[in-house]
Amino acid sequence: MDDVAWPFGAAAVPILGDVVVKQRGGGVAVSVAAGDRVVEVVAVASEEGIDQALLEAVCELLGVTPVPELVSVTVADQSGASIVTVLVDDGSSPQAGAAVSRGTRAWAVARAFWSAVSGPA
């Protein structure tokens, strides 16, 4: 994903900000922010629906198209922390990402997707 055009400008390094999941009639709204940009995706009110919406929102923020297929999201508890690992596949190669939970599952899942789709560090 080296050819991703950052919508944040050439010098800016995007940093994941707020991740919010709000209950709505008929589903949930997932909002993901970076800098002054916010993307909201409406989802089915299920763990799988929220995970897919988080992936779509992160990809939109980072300018990643098409959105890769969501293969798996795994949460493991280790030494009092929750570690989230994700696997996505863009059709050419699978990409993995991970994050340590900082309070909410949604933030950790979004951070793990961010890691997976933003390319090598």
pLDDT (0 to 100) of residue 12: 59
Considering the chain, what is the average pLDDT of its residues? Answer: 87
Within a 10 A sphere around the Cβ of 22, how many other Cβ atoms? 11
Reading the block at residue 26, the tokens are 């008929």
pLDDT at 45 over 80: yes
User: In this predicted model, which residue has the larger pLDDT, 80 or 55?
Assistant: 55
**What fold characterizes domain 16-117?**
Double Stranded RNA Binding Domain (3.30.160)
- Looking up tokens 């800016």, which residue turns up? 12
- Backbone angles phi and psi of 81, in degrees to 5: -120, 155
Judge whether 86 and 96 are in contact, CB under 8 Å.
Answer: yes
